[in-house]
Structure 1
């Protein structure tokens, strides 16, 4: 269900005039502390990025292959996919822990499991033990990854919320970078520690979280949902207004949250999985969430890694050290691009970034398909050289196009369009869809490429054209809005009048009555905005 209609101005920045602009955040001790807590949550994504890059590196290590009897075929495929299978196994349970015990408890639980699993992985002496450990890593990661970005969104300072949440998925590259350079550094270690060291380092983010998670504030929205309104107000005041409970921004946030939670309890008391499809607003959310989850993996970007080793060899780069070095540098480049795009999401907007990303990928993919087809059908050497050059250019260009939207924004956008009552469950559906798309890539892409060759590229040409149309038609701009204001955008005329009345009754006095510079009633503003 959607949250209550929020007070909103025509430009969608209902809280903009309440922000303290007298000094920058880096001069505010409590905001610095809050952002450090958020950083501690963001590194959850680092574990996921580390895992994929580490597995690619381990397969190049002779010591690892010797230790596990040179795994090939189905066994090697299982070693790569087992982490995602572990994620799938945890999805039915993770939202209930996040909603029942709290976001912070779910992060801690997941981090503890990943620490235990990493110890088992490092100590593995058989393929079965290694596979079991990787399954546990995926299982624990689901609990932590389902709660961490949600907690970031719900606790961040209003103007920091979107950039902070956008950095979550971006830190996937940080884990990938660390793994790439770690395996590069241990390549010449003659013993089994050449692969045990990278395995052990994978636990580092989780160990840090287990030790420091106690200092992270719990979500004010979750606290209100459990009747702990005093704690919620104290948290908002401490971090967002230096302890001033009567600060206008704190009052605004608290009234919005309390009205939203009260509405969920009275109108949507039994919020289950079916709530995701019960109302038009929720169906719009579900459609967008599932779409961007698959778009992020099915835009042709994963085919590049499939061809990379052959391309290295075809142009004379056969030294494994050189290959690892190039991959490490490309990860750093992509990391920088994703960070910049994530920090600019509130200035540029979500729609422009998504549209630019999909159009850029489409144009580049069409050009590459033409070159691939010319070489395959006619043996045109110039086309082959151009194709190789474009593959390398694509290693910086298409990830650039992907990184400006589908890396930083898919998590933040999904979390912010979901109302509180469905946030954990909806984010689980998003992650489930993402995992399914990854498993498809791991098993189907190599088979299709072997059977169809360059013609398989045409599938992605058509798919990218579909992505452009979908993003243009259905993606809603949400920049510079509170979570409750964003919820009102999706629910619109379905329940906006009822929700406005409900919020006014529960608040006792509307926020607009308490703000001298707001002349319109909440219902007028929201209905006008929804019509637009």
Structure 2
């Protein structure tokens, strides 16, 4: 597919420039604030890194170490795990927008309590509440983005979503660097208060974002869904050819899913295609956190101290510059997802991480023996190189790839499984990593070297390419001729099943286009 066209229902259409389309421009600008959900997570990880470096915070909470320090970071993941049973039902019953709103309000409450932080226990409970709210907002935000944006821009926009983690991380890293000069409790209370800012912005702007048209269609609100689709993609023109084709494809696909497939939890493993989807969701969730990045994300202070970087200003500079590099690489790669392909990016990224981590481990071992500044510098260089490879795929594609491979009926539940794996991995990382680093230091890295080799094998054998494919049509890569795909590109099974149902009235232009396409294929 050329860069000046996009494909829908087996046909090529002229590409759309989003900022030249008033309806699309308004929708996308508002959606840019929805992507900040991920920034809250990034801010928290970097803030906890920064707080550990601040002397007033250390003194206020009694210089926590080992398990006491680990639980302060891990409790947020525990809060997210506690919220997961409610996540898919909030998004599927109340809607994607309400899920974002509820999650943000809970996060704001948690940040208020965290900023007050009268005691260690109160700080701990507040962080649990923040994790609870993050899970609910996280469970709805990528669904709304994926289901609302134009098919041409889905890959870029949804990949950007998770990269905003670094935007939050950069703000937190440099803010704590600045407050390092404050010699009282405001050194840590100020960064804590700023954590509420992304959620406050989202609470304001979520009212300007329309609800997911796929959610509206699933609820039987077809006219409302058509209006949303037309306003967001075609400046209100409900007769637009692309809008009509996409509406018919979505309606037929969701109708078939509702009639012949359930949206219960067992549906996740009922078919071979769904089992492969859920395997990808589970492994992506674990791999995104168990690739060694959890060491630096939450405990860079301990990592740097093992190679002689003990000065707090130096530590903050390394952390702040690393997050800037991460954001640049991750954002850049968002624009190459459809050009290079998901599977190829995952393979290059994982292989690169493996090589960088092996060299990182070797340099750390040599520093332990020789204690030279050159090997210490090499460790920092390998950390930076490792993150360059990590950000080629895992930062952005983690969400965009998993959300697009799931059919609508199981999308919220499949993503919940992935969030569970992420939170479980985070809890393990945040609680176990500081204990392991205290006990065996650089030798702990060997575990991650082995694990990255396993990750590479799983990606090679199980991850599927989905580049340049409309959302509903991705099902064909997993289910083949058994895929529930409606519209002009329906599989034979889908056509047979659809013929047993009462046909809904469809816009005449869309039907003419489909008949032309079928005739072309028959010829």
Q: Same fold (TM over 0.5)?
A: yes
Q: Determine the C-alpha separation between the residues in 2 that align with 1:412 and 1:520.
A: 34
Given the superposition, is the C-alpha separation of residues 456 and 25 from structure 1 closer, same or farther in structure 2, using an over 3 Å criterion?
Answer: same
Task: For 1:35-184, list aligned pairs within 5 A.
Answer: 35-184=28-177
1:8 aligned partner: none
1:30 aligned partner: 23
Would you say the 8 A contact 1:25–1:32 is kept in 2?
Answer: yes
Three-state SS of the structure 2 residue aligned to 1:273 is coil
| Deviation of the 1:57 alpha carbon | 1.2
Would you say the 8 A contact 2:363–2:379 is kept in 1?
Answer: no
Three-state SS of the structure 2 residue aligned to 1:92 is helix
Q: Is 1:468 the counterpart of 2:456 in the alignment? A: yes
| Selected match of 1:501 from 496, 503, 517 | 496
1:5 aligned partner: none
Q: Determine the C-alpha separation between the residues in 2 that align with 1:306 and 1:105.
A: 31
Q: Is 1:280 the counterpart of 2:268 in the alignment? A: no
Would you say the 8 A contact 1:512–1:521 is kept in 2?
Answer: no
Q: Determine the C-alpha separation between the residues in 2 that align with 1:385 and 1:118.
A: 40
| Deviation of the 1:92 alpha carbon | 0.3
Q: Determine the C-alpha separation between the residues in 1 that align with 2:511 and 2:342.
A: 28
Q: Is 1:490 the counterpart of 2:482 in the alignment? A: no
Q: Determine the C-alpha separation between the residues in 2 that align with 1:29 and 1:446.
A: 50
2:396 aligned partner: 408
| Deviation of the 1:336 alpha carbon | 0.6
Given the superposition, is the C-alpha separation of residues 369 and 56 from structure 1 closer, same or farther in structure 2, using an over 3 Å criterion?
Answer: closer
Q: Determine the C-alpha separation between the residues in 2 that align with 1:314 and 1:469.
A: 31
Q: Is 1:514 the counterpart of 2:507 in the alignment? A: no
Instruction: For residues 125-152 of structure 1, give each alpha carbon's deviation from its aligned partner in whole angstroms, at most 9, with x where no partner exists.
Output: 1111111111111111111010001100
Would you say the 8 A contact 1:43–1:168 is kept in 2?
Answer: yes
Q: Determine the C-alpha separation between the residues in 2 that align with 1:310 and 1:456.
A: 13
Three-state SS of the structure 2 residue aligned to 1:69 is coil
Would you say the 8 A contact 2:353–2:386 is kept in 1?
Answer: yes
Higher relative contact order (CA 8 A, sep 6+): 1
Q: Is 1:436 the counterpart of 2:435 in the alignment? A: no
| Deviation of the 1:498 alpha carbon | 2.1
Q: Determine the C-alpha separation between the residues in 2 that align with 1:375 and 1:331.
A: 25
* Length-normalised TM-score, structure 1: 0.89
Instruction: For residues 322-355 of structure 1, give each alpha carbon's deviation from its aligned partner in whole angstroms, at most 9, with x where no partner exists.
Output: 3212211110111010001112111111011111
Q: Is 1:395 the counterpart of 2:371 in the alignment? A: no
| Deviation of the 1:24 alpha carbon | 2.5
1:323 aligned partner: 315
Given the superposition, is the C-alpha separation of residues 393 and 507 from structure 1 closer, same or farther in structure 2, using an over 3 Å criterion?
Answer: farther
Three-state SS of the structure 2 residue aligned to 1:13 is strand
Instruction: For residues 421-470 of structure 1, give each alpha carbon's deviation from its aligned partner in whole angstroms, at most 9, with x where no partner exists.
Output: 11111100000001111122223334445566655444333322222222
| Selected match of 2:345 from 340, 349, 353 | 353
| Deviation of the 1:19 alpha carbon | 3.7
Moved more, 90-99 or 77-86: 77-86
Moved more, 509-518 or 162-171: 509-518
Task: For 1:449-468, list aligned pairs within 5 A.
Answer: 449=437, 455-468=443-456
Instruction: For residues 198-239 of structure 1, give each alpha carbon's deviation from its aligned partner in whole angstroms, at most 9, with x where no partner exists.
Output: 111100011111122111110000001111000000111111
Q: Determine the C-alpha separation between the residues in 2 that align with 1:434 and 1:316.
A: 31
Given the superposition, is the C-alpha separation of residues 521 and 275 from structure 1 closer, same or farther in structure 2, using an over 3 Å criterion?
Answer: farther
Q: Is 1:418 the counterpart of 2:403 in the alignment? A: no
2:215 aligned partner: 222
Three-state SS of the structure 1 residue aligned to 2:7 is coil
Given the superposition, is the C-alpha separation of residues 34 and 405 from structure 1 closer, same or farther in structure 2, using an over 3 Å criterion?
Answer: same
Structure 1: give runs of 5+ residues left out of the alignment: 1-10, 526-532
| Selected match of 1:14 from 8, 30, 33 | 8
Three-state SS of the structure 1 residue aligned to 2:111 is helix
Given the superposition, is the C-alpha separation of residues 274 and 80 from structure 1 closer, same or farther in structure 2, using an over 3 Å criterion?
Answer: same
Three-state SS of the structure 2 residue aligned to 1:71 is coil
Given the superposition, is the C-alpha separation of residues 350 and 186 from structure 1 closer, same or farther in structure 2, using an over 3 Å criterion?
Answer: same
Would you say the 8 A contact 1:18–1:248 is kept in 2?
Answer: no
Q: Is 1:301 the counterpart of 2:293 in the alignment? A: yes
Structure 2: give runs of 5+ residues left out of the alignment: 484-490
Instruction: For residues 90-126 of structure 1, give each alpha carbon's deviation from its aligned partner in whole angstroms, at most 9, with x where no partner exists.
Output: 0000110100010000000011111111111112211
* Length-normalised TM-score, structure 2: 0.90
Would you say the 8 A contact 1:117–1:133 is kept in 2?
Answer: yes
| Deviation of the 1:179 alpha carbon | 0.6
Q: Determine the C-alpha separation between the residues in 1 that align with 2:437 and 2:206.
A: 45
| Deviation of the 1:311 alpha carbon | 6.3
Supply the RMSD in Å over aligned alpha carbons: 2.6
| Deviation of the 1:196 alpha carbon | 1.3
